[in-house]
Amino acid sequence: MVERVPCNNCGVPILTATAARTGGACMVCHRDPTARQQEAARERAAEIALATPQQELLTSLGKVLDRLTLDEARRAAERREEGIYGFFLMHEYFAMFSTVVFTDREFRLACEQHPEEEPVSARWAFWWPSFTDFGGPELERTVHALDLQERAMPRDEESPLLREIQRLCLVALRRVRGQGVLGADVVLALGAVEQSAEETFLYAEQLCNSDTLMRFRRELPWISEADLEMFRTHGHLACL
């Protein structure tokens, strides 16, 4: 019978030979004395996340998105003299949220750096300089909990969760519009990684007045009416 003693940190049985080598700790605790606690805390958080009603998580996500998007829009408004013409809320599934501020100033700089681009197309193409991730522990916790619930779903079902999150983003943008933080001529839209220009336009359609939309449409010469119609009728886009 091999003799074992409890780890002096977490209590799992370990060989006396191990204890002699590590000063009484199991190998996990020897490498990082807080590892077991961290793992337990993660498991508890996951249990709580899975037990929280999804509607509750979505409600708090909506609140935090409203607040953060409004903060971002106010920050953007401080750059008014740079000539803001677009403000996009971007999301990448459950992982992150960002905003993009399009300004005449950055557009001019981009044109100088890329003289080969068609100016009209470039107007909405160069947005990396103004790409800002936003968030915080509250947003992260909620998104992580939703992510865990999503992963617990059967894979063959199309989850309505992503569309609901997109809808909450639209609601947050509508609030920005409603509060008049940015001028009515600023294009507001919901963006996403790998989203087509048509989809972006259809989101702008829900948030902008007709003059602003017409200008936006002229500046997206490559979008296809057929695709717009297809996206409209298929109805997989989030709607306010």
The residues binding Zn ion (CB under 5 A) are 7, 9-10, 26, 29
For strands 96-103 and 84-92, give the pairing: antiparallel
Nearer to Zn ion, 19 or 76 (CB): 19
**Backbone φ, ψ for residue 5 (5° rounding):** -130, 155
**Which residues are registered as beta bridge partners of 15?**
4
For strands 131-134 and 187-192, give the pairing: unpaired
Angle, in degrees to the nearest 10, between helices 161-178 and 54-77: 40
Residue 5 burial (CB count, 10 A): 13
Nearer to Zn ion, 9 or 200 (CB): 9
Nearer to Zn ion, 16 or 224 (CB): 16
CB of 206 to Zn ion, least distance (A): 55
CB of 1 to Zn ion, least distance (A): 22
Rg of the Cα trace of the chain? Answer: 25
Residue 199 neighbours by CB under 8 Å, 6+ apart: 192, 231, 237
CA distance 88 to 200: 9
CB of 27 to Zn ion, least distance (A): 8
CA distance 214 to 116: 26
Nearer to Zn ion, 7 or 187 (CB): 7
Do the beta carbons of residue 102 and residue 125 sit within 8 Å?
no
CB of 208 to Zn ion, least distance (A): 59
CB of 45 to Zn ion, least distance (A): 21
Nearer to Zn ion, 29 or 146 (CB): 29
Nearer to Zn ion, 7 or 61 (CB): 7
CB of 24 to Zn ion, least distance (A): 9
